[in-house]
Amino acid sequence: MEEKKTYYVTTPIYYPSDNFHVGHCYTTCIADALARYKRLKGYDVFFLTGSDEHGQKIEERAKKAGVSPKEFVDPIIANAKDLWQSLNISYDKFIRTTDEEHVACVQKVVQKLYDQGDIYKGSYEGWYCTPCESFWTESQLVDGKCPDCGREVKLMKEDAYFLKLSKYQKAFEEYLESHRDLMQPESRYNEMVNNFLKPGLKDLCVSRSSVKWGIPVTFDKSQTVYVWVDALTNYISALGYLSDDDSLFKKYWPADLHLVGKEIFRFHTIIWPIILMALGLPLPKKVYGHGWLTIGGGKISKSKGNYKDPRLFIKDYGADTLRYFILSEVPFGSDGNFSEELMVERRNSDLANVLGNLVNRTIAMTNKYFGGEVSENVHPNDLDNEVIAYLNSLEAEVDEKMEALNLPSAIAGIFDRLKRLNKYIDETTPWILGKDENGKERLNDVLYTILEGIRMCTVALEAFIPETAERIFEDLKVTANGFEDFKFGTVKKYQVVSKAEILFTRIDEEALKAKLEKENEEKMPEHLPLIGIDDFNKIEMVVGEVKECRQHPKAERLLISKVDVGNGEIRQIVSGIADYYKPEEMPGKKVIVVLNLKPLKLKGEESMGMLLTSEYQDDKGHTCVELLESKLPSGSKIR
């Protein structure tokens, strides 16, 4: 027997978050549609997703919650799996970076690279962005902040191990010349080459001594493996690479497609391929960096309160409405806007009007005129032949679009056929044929043509809206066999259900608009009562420079700073910022100080003023606090 062709597709592994939004569903829905499509085409598919659980941020959040990092993440992961289930995500494996097999694999990978001389000891100094878990060089910072998320970075120096990326640069560049597909789309290829390869690769720091919640380095227990090396390795550890049973690895590696968001493209198209090269393994065939879903044209973010739990959409409209919108709306590669109103508009216009209506009235007519039974169209006329040819061309069109990862266009091709069938009903006027006994034979042929058309479109839709496809197959009483028997005429006889169901109810768009407006009003933050300028003028604020800083001996959350507030006047100020700043990173910061706050003692330490901060939630839902900083000289008045 001929071996099935394999297809290995992955999503990134997600950071544990209780605040998953539609943006997180984006990569996963696309990967799912591709995996389902390849299965329908007869491939042996392995679809991997999972969670990325190590790193300083989790360590800090768990500490705050008073539990171990593993205890902290377990319920979050269960929650993520629940979301994927409600979206009908058909992954074959969910890997966690805390899985024993993964930990063992990462340790063996790092040890192997060390043994063969590709990893060496050095010391690392760089700008670290804690939320992104990324080190940056001075020149990569944008206005002194993290180029990815725009947040504060910290200068860190520590003993560490390095991977010789530079040693592999030339070989990698040569490889890229004949494997352009590795980096898709083209625009991101250019960005990687110009911004990272041309300036020359620096060796990569692959271990940390400052991060405790990570995979221990086997040859130096004071170090843990850098989270990105840990995370990227999931793509091979999940297949049992370097384990006792590496049969999956032998079968599926190299990956056919790593799907990733544009902000993590660099890790996947430079660092990951070079690690693989150093391990002597084949590189993934393709990494595709897609754009982001936005809301109101901007980033989806908790602090803006601009999104809902996707499960609320699934509850109100069903998983397929959300999947359909995500998969059909955004040109792949670009950013695209998400809104509940637009999603409902599409549900009404495409899913209810085009698809639902077609299925419903076809089944109703089949019942009405033939008691549900229709047989093959054995004498197709010119119109039928034109429609049949158009239907038969669908598979090749979908294949071509899916190969190019152009899912919206593949879906559009299917809906063009559904619209053609609706038009065919208008052209053939079954309700007139039904009135005339002589028209019965023609009516059979017309209904058969439509039923076959619906079946074929449903085969193609299975990858995108699987729940609906299953319902249609049940309504038509045909078995779903993927594309194997796709061709028009495969099902010779129909005997459909006795009652046509409504696949998608129409949602009242006006009522939804009113509901959303009301929700928005309720969400408006409450403001304090208005004050006059006289009240405002009572607050004395200046720029101050922190000279010294130490941890409060009796309160974990407090830092005690000595601040120069101008004219050499030094104030002691106690602030509740120890969760966000270390005492050693405070000196030299120029911050905004309220001077005329009544002095008070905080756990025995006098505080004469206040450092102003701003609090917000990042897009992963973590609360962040930042000092308000200024470039002006100490003593400059703020008003």
Q: How far is the CB of 496 from ligand MSP (least distance, A)?
A: 40
By CB under 6 A, residue 263 contacts ligand MSP:
yes
CB nearer to ligand MSP: pick between 48 and 563 = 48
Answer for which of 236, 300, 454, 459 binds ligand MSP (CB under 6 A) is: 300
By CB under 6 A, residue 27 contacts ligand MSP:
yes
By CB under 6 A, residue 293 contacts ligand MSP:
yes
SS3 content of the chain, % helix, strand, coil (to 5): 45, 20, 35
CB nearer to ligand MSP: pick between 300 and 410 = 300
DSSP 551-591: E-TT-TT-EEEEEE-STT-EEEEEES-TTT--GGG-TT-EE
In the bound state, the residue with its beta carbon closest to ligand MSP is 261
d(CA 395, CA 283): 30
By CB under 6 A, residue 232 contacts ligand MSP:
yes
Of 86-94, 229-237, 433-441, 578-586, which part binds ligand MSP (CB under 6 A)? 229-237
In 87-127, which ranges are continuous DSSP H helix?
100-115
Q: How far is the CB of 332 from ligand MSP (least distance, A)?
A: 11
DSSP state of 272: H
Structure tokens given for 368: 């009405």
| E strands in 37-165 | 44-51, 93-96, 119-129, 134-136, 154-163
Answer for which of 7, 8, 9, 24 binds ligand MSP (CB under 6 A) is: 24
Answer for which of 9, 201, 231, 591 binds ligand MSP (CB under 6 A) is: 231
CB nearer to ligand MSP: pick between 14 and 114 = 14
Of 23-31, 149-157, 408-416, 562-570, which part binds ligand MSP (CB under 6 A)? 23-31
Q: How far is the CB of 308 from ligand MSP (least distance, A)?
A: 14
Q: Which of residues 41-60 bind ligand MSP (CB under 6 A)?
A: 52
Please tell me the count of residues contacting ligand MSP according to CB under 6 A.
19
- Measured CA to CA in angstroms, residue 104 lies from 15, 71, 73, 95, 529 at distances of 20, 20, 20, 13, 59
Of 22-30, 148-156, 246-254, 554-562, which part binds ligand MSP (CB under 6 A)? 22-30
CB nearer to ligand MSP: pick between 30 and 478 = 30
d(CA 107, CA 115): 12
What is the radius of gyration, based on Cα positions, of the chain?
30
d(CA 14, CA 80): 9
Answer for which of 26, 136, 241, 252 binds ligand MSP (CB under 6 A) is: 26
Other C-beta atoms within 10 Å of 339: how many? Answer: 16
Return the closest-CA partner of residue 627 out of 569, 574, 586.
Answer: 586
Helix, coil or strand: residue 305: coil
Token look-up 């229709």 returns 374
By CB under 6 A, residue 91 contacts ligand MSP:
no
CB nearer to ligand MSP: pick between 56 and 607 = 56
Helix, coil or strand: residue 270: helix
Residue 55 in contact with residue 133, Cβ under 8 Å? yes
CB nearer to ligand MSP: pick between 15 and 161 = 15
By CB under 6 A, residue 289 contacts ligand MSP:
no
CB nearer to ligand MSP: pick between 95 and 541 = 95
CB nearer to ligand MSP: pick between 201 and 232 = 232
Helix, coil or strand: residue 201: coil
By CB under 6 A, residue 40 contacts ligand MSP:
no
In 253-356, which ranges are continuous DSSP H helix?
265-266, 272-279, 310-317, 319-329, 340-346
By CB under 6 A, residue 84 contacts ligand MSP:
no
d(CA 454, CA 328): 19
CB nearer to ligand MSP: pick between 15 and 504 = 15
Q: Which of residues 264-283 bind ligand MSP (CB under 6 A)?
A: 264
d(CA 371, CA 427): 23
Answer for which of 8, 12, 126, 365 binds ligand MSP (CB under 6 A) is: 12
By CB under 6 A, residue 313 contacts ligand MSP:
no
Q: Which of residues 458-477 bind ligand MSP (CB under 6 A)?
A: none
Return the closest-CA partner of residue 456 out of 373, 513, 398.
Answer: 398
Q: How far is the CB of 49 from ligand MSP (least distance, A)?
A: 10
Indicate the helix (H) or strand (E) that contains 258: strand 257-261
Answer for which of 7, 8, 9, 14 binds ligand MSP (CB under 6 A) is: 14
Answer for which of 7, 8, 15, 252 binds ligand MSP (CB under 6 A) is: 15
Of 71-79, 230-238, 607-615, 621-629, which part binds ligand MSP (CB under 6 A)? 230-238
Structure tokens given for 153: 């970075």
Residue 224 in contact with residue 205, Cβ under 8 Å? no
Query: Applying CB under 6 A, which residues contact ligand MSP?
Result: 12-15, 23-24, 26-27, 52, 231-232, 234, 260-261, 263-264, 292-293, 300
